């Protein structure tokens, strides 16, 4: 039993997401293609199988967009993320501050290594700074 517990712990650690953070909050903001205060409207899991490494698609409503790449005129309302350890696990009905990438096709993607916070946890000072960052 002890060996099984050690094996499972080692396996979980080896599957963990490893991130290199860009430095300051402004650096993280500027490294992202988009930064948005959004609300999750629905979730579509193509596998229905937790742990499978396929993309989950969240339909979102952008409440306030703080940064948007010039690649697109308007942000997509679909956010894709992996179901792997680096993927986001968002709750339908909740609001978040999400930073991520925009694909060539305009698709939004998010992951654990970028900003992703419950909006309620974002301090007022941080909210105010989001509107002032220049990249």
Binding residues: 17
Check if the beta carbon of residue 66 is closer than 8 Å to that of residue 100. Answer: no
Residue keyed to tokens 């970028």: 114
Q: Which residues are annotated as a binding site for Zn(2+)?
A: 17
14: its two tokens: 């080896």
Q: Which residue has the tokens 């989950």?
A: 56
């Amino acid at each position: 039993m002890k060996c099984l517990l050690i094996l499972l712990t080692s396996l979980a650690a080896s599957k963990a997401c490893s991130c290199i953070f860009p430095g300051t909050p402004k650096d993280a903001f500027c490294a992202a293609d988009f930064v948005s205060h959004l609300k999750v409207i629905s979730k579509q899991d193509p596998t229905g199988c937790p742990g499978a490494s396929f993309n989950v698609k969240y339909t979102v409503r952008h409440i306030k967009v703080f940064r948007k790449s010039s690649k697109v005129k308007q942000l997509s309302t679909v956010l894709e993320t992996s179901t792997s350890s680096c993927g986001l696990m968002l709750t339908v009905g909740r609001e978040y501050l999400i930073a991520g990438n925009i694909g060539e096709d305009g698709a939004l993607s998010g992951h654990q290594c970028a900003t992703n916070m419950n909006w309620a946890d974002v301090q007022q000072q941080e909210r105010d700074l989001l509107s002032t960052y220049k990249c």
